[in-house]
Amino acid sequence: GKRVKGVQIYRPFIYGTTARPFNDTDNIRPPTVPADHTHSWQVFVKGVDDVDIFYWLRRVQFKLHESIPNHLRTLDAETIQKENEGKPASQRQRAFVVNETGWGEFEITIRLYYSVISAEKPQTLYHHLRLHPYGRTEQEKEAMRNGGEVVAWVYEEQMFNEPFEDFYKVLTTG
Contact residue for ligand SLL among 106, 142, 159, 162 (CB under 6 A): 106
Contacts of 29 (CB under 8 A, 6+ apart): 22, 37, 101
Closest residue to ligand SLL: CB criterion: 102
Contact residue for ligand SLL among 12, 104, 122, 148 (CB under 6 A): 104
Shortest separation between residue 27's beta carbon and ligand SLL, angstroms: 16
CB atoms under 10 Å from CB of 20, counted, come to 19
Q: Which of 93, 105, 109 is nearest to 19 (CA)?
A: 105
- Please report whether residue 150 would count as binding ligand SLL according to CB under 6 A: no
Give the nearer residue to ligand SLL in terms of CB position, either 6 or 34: 34
Residues, the chain, total? 174
Amino acid at 174: G
Rule CB under 6 A: which residues touch ligand SLL?
Answer: 65, 67-68, 102-106
